[in-house]
Amino acid sequence: MNREYVRNLTITGMFLAIGLVLPFLTGQLQSMGNALLPMHLPVFLCALICGWKYAVPMAFVLPLLRSLLFTMPPLYPTAVSMAFELAVYALVTGLVYALLRKKNVLSVYISVIAGMLAGRAVWGCVQALLLGISGKSFGFAAFIAGAFTNAVPGIILQLVLIPAAMVVLDKTCALPFGDGKQTDAD
Q: Encode the chain (186 residues) as per-residue pLDDT tens digits.
A: 799 999 999 999 999 999 999 999 887 775 676 789 999 999 999 999 999 999 999 999 999 999 999 999 999 999 999 999 999 999 999 999 999 999 999 999 999 999 999 999 999 999 999 999 988 888 888 888 888 888 899 999 999 999 999 999 999 988 888 644 444 444
Question: What is the reported pTM?
Answer: 0.91
**Whole-number Å distance between alpha carbons of 129 and 122:** 11
Would 29 be classed as within a structural domain?
Answer: no
In a domain, 185, yes or no: no
Q: How far is it, in rounded angstroms, from Cα 37 to Cα 162? A: 13
Q: What amino acid is encoded at 123 in this protein?
A: W
Classified as helix, coil or strand, 132 is: helix
Residue 184 lies in a domain: no
Number of domains composing the chain: 1
Tell me, what CATH number does 140's domain have?
1.10.1760.20
Q: Is 139 left (phi over 0), alpha (psi -120 to 50) or beta?
A: beta
Nearest alpha-carbon partner for 62 in 122, 23, 16, 26: 16
Nearest CA to 23 among 5, 47, 42, 9?
42
The residue range of the domain holding 167 is: 3-23+35-179
